[in-house]
Amino acid sequence: MNSTRDLTKASRLDETDRAILSMLARNSRHSAREIARRLGISVGVVLDRMSRLQQDGVVRGYRVEVDPEAVGYPLTVTLGIQLDGKASVEEAMAALIAIPEVHVVHWVTSHFDMIATLCIDDLTRFQTILMQQIRAIPGFLRSESMISIMHWRRVGGQFAFIWPSPGESDEASDPSEESADDEHPASQQSR
C-alpha cells in the first residue's frame, strides 16, 4: 500500500516533464522521437527525462489497456465496505485486491472504510464473490453495491495525469495524440 507521498518529486516536475507525461498518458506508445518532434526538443533530452521520471518512481510502467467488456466482463460494480472498529484496513485491502475481479481498492473518508471497483461477468458471479470472499474478510460489517450503467474516464485510465499546455485546456488537446477510437480527447465513454 502506498500511504505516503514524496511531494518533492512533484515539485521537481517542470513544464517539459509535464508535457512528456501528458503525451505518454494519452498514448504510452509515443516514441521518444515523436515526443521530441512535438515538443521541439532533442530526442536525448526526452530520453534523459523519461529515464529520470522512471528512476524517481513518477512513471511506474507502461501497460496494455484491456476493455473488460470485450473480454467478457461487461459489468462494473463499485462496492462501499464498512469494517468494524477492530479490523485492519491494510489486511482488508490486501484481501480485496487478491480477488481477481477487484481492480482497485481505496481507503476513504466516508461512512465506508473502503471503496472497491470490480469488473464482473454477471450478477451471479458478483453474488458469489460478495457472499464467499468479501463477507469473509475479517472485520467485515456491511457493504453497499452500486452497479455502473455508464461511465466516463480519462484516456489512459484512472492514473493518467494530463496537464494542459499553457493557454490550452484539456478539452482543446491535439486530437492526433489520441487513439482512433477515442470519443473525446480527454475522456472515454463506456456502457
pLDDT more than 70, % of the chain: 74
Please tell me the pTM assigned to this model.
0.68
Angle (CA) 16 20 26, round 5°: 145
Q: What is the per-residue pLDDT across 92-143, written as a single tens digit (0 to 9) for each? A: 999 999 999 999 999 999 999 999 999 999 999 999 999 999 999 999 999 9
Closest CA to 78 of 28, 44, 119: 119
Take residue 79 and report the three cell numbers written for it: 462496492
**Do residues 81 and 52 both lie within one domain?**
no
- 146 with 89, same domain: the answer is yes
Residue range of the domain that includes 166: 13-63+156-190
Do 106 and 160 fall within a single domain?
no
Q: Are residues 124 and 147 in the same domain?
A: yes
pLDDT tens digits for 50-98? 999 999 989 988 877 788 889 999 999 999 999 999 999 999 999 999 9
User: Is 57 found in the same domain as 81?
Assistant: no
- Whether 81 and 142 share a structural domain: yes
**Residue whose C-alpha cell is 510502467:** 61
Residues 83 and 40 in one domain: no
Contacts of residue 128, defined as CB under 8 A and 6 or more positions apart, other chains included, come to none
CATH number of 101's domain: 3.30.70.920
